[in-house]
Amino acid sequence: MRTFRNYTLPSHNLLSILFLLTFACFHGHDVQAWSKEGHVMTCQIAQKLLEPEAAHAVEMLLPDYVNGNLSALCVWPDQVRHWYKYRWTSPLHFIDTPDQACNFKYQRDCHDPNGVKDMCVAGAIQNFTTQLSHYKEGNSDRRHNMTEALLFLSHFMGDIHQPMHVGFTTDEGGNTINLRWFRHKSNLHHVWDREIIQTAAADYYGKDMDLLRQGIQSNFTDGVWSDDLASWQECDDLSTCVNKYAAESINLACKWGYKGVEAGETLSDDYFNSRMPIVMKRIAQGGVRLAMILNHIFGDPREEQGLLAAT
Ligand SMILES: *[C@@H]1O[C@H](CO)[C@@H](O)[C@H](O)[C@H]1NC(C)=O
Ligand SMILES: *[C@@H]1O[C@H](CO)[C@@H](O)[C@H](O)[C@H]1NC(C)=O
Ligand SMILES: *[C@@H]1O[C@H](CO)[C@@H](O)[C@H](O)[C@H]1NC(C)=O
Ligand SMILES: *[C@@H]1O[C@H](CO)[C@@H](O)[C@H](O)[C@H]1NC(C)=O
Ligand SMILES: [Zn+2]
């Protein structure tokens, strides 16, 4: 309190302006996505599950400077979404569903704010999977940049598994629900993008993201989720599977994301302890399923036919 007494009027105004700028920068869908950490872990999990043919294709598609590390570029789509050239990709990171409906219907929900069909994360995953499926045909398809298709697919498989990326329309997937995460300001969307991951890493893994990721991996190789692994990977038709991933997310958003949360409140231990397992499971599922898709499209051509049958 005492420090504030010394502020003169101009600096008070300056503070207000800074506050407004900060608020404006963090407002809306434009800024947030599964945090860097969420995307990196999803892609690291996926890359470790690639079969030799897919691993080779991914390596060929990545620029030399990342030394074959897919996760180093999995946040690239978030970095370019405001560039003029990539503005069209901005609606591809999420889906807005009707408030309180708690379900996902592709025809109803998969469009951009202007109503252009297929411009949502579910449409984008199918789009870039189809583009990549032509990679093996060699130089036959030069319309699309295969490196970008790989990075978009890898990123959007993360986004579609973040429950609040398939949230309600009015609150922009929780972005406008301002609240506190323990002692600092945040919003509900950001809690699911980043805060829960950060708090988990700090509380249990000495802030070491590699250890956190290893914990997630051991839970599906040899732990609580190992019996579920096969069912996570089941997919005969990509459009059906993608719709299922989106439906899972909005279900979780309703049951665990929005449930009992009011704007202005403080979320802390109770919320963290009950939601952390869900966040970790979604990161695992995103990684496992990204690997499944890449193994399909870069592996046996007969299987690839199956996956894309209906697109
Ligand atoms: C791959 O990139 C990620 C993200 O930049 C980084 O955290 C990780 O350490 C890298 N892995 C290797 C083996 O270099
Ligand atoms: C599919 O990708 C192309 C460019 O590669 C883009 O023009 C088109 O809008 C994309 N559509 C969706 C639904 O992602
Ligand atoms: C494909 O996209 C990447 C990333 O934007 C870019 O660096 C590369 O030059 C592009 N390749 C072609 C052939 O246009
Ligand atoms: C792995 O599973 C155990 C047992 O359910 C749980 O306590 C732990 O938090 C899980 N770790 C991660 C990173 O999800
Ligand atoms: Zn994103």
Residues within 5 A (CB) of ion ligand 5: 33, 78, 93, 159
pLDDT of residue 307: 79
Model pLDDT, residue 9: 34
Ligand nearest to the CA of 212: 4
Q: Is 273 in the pocket of ligand 4 (CB under 6 A)?
A: no
Whole-number pLDDT of residue 143: 82
Map out the domains of the chain with their CATH numbers: 33-307 (1.10.575.10)
Strands of the sheet containing 184-187, edge to edge, are: 184-187, 178-181, 266-267
Question: What pLDDT score was predicted for residue 30?
Answer: 45
Report d(CA 78, CA 260) in Å as an integer: 30
pLDDT at residue 309, rounded to an integer: 60
Counting ligand 4 atoms within 8 A of each CB, the residue from 42, 212, 219, 281 with the most, and so the one to mutate, is 219
Closest-CA residue, ligand 1 atom 3, reads 72
Q: Best of 39, 43, 69 to mutate for ligand 1, by most ligand atoms within 8 A of CB?
A: 69
**pLDDT of the chain along its 311 residues, tens only?**
333 333 333 344 433 433 333 333 333 344 456 689 999 999 999 999 999 999 999 999 999 999 999 999 999 999 999 999 999 999 999 999 999 999 999 999 999 999 999 999 999 999 999 999 988 877 556 689 999 999 999 999 999 999 999 999 999 999 999 999 999 999 999 999 999 999 999 999 999 999 999 999 999 999 999 999 999 999 999 999 999 999 999 999 999 999 999 999 999 999 999 999 999 999 999 999 999 999 999 996 655 556 776 44
pLDDT at position 35: 82
Q: What is the pLDDT of residue 139?
A: 55
Q: Which ligand is nearest to the CA of 285?
A: 4
pLDDT the model gives residue 6: 32
b/e burial code for range 201-217 (CB count within 10 A of at least 16 → b):
beeeeeeebeebbeebb
pTM: 0.89
Which atom of ligand 3 is the closest one to the Cα of 80? Answer: 5
User: Under 8 Å CB-to-CB from 138, ≥6 apart: which residues?
Assistant: none
What's residue 116's pLDDT? 98
Distance 153 CA to ligand 3 centre (A): 15
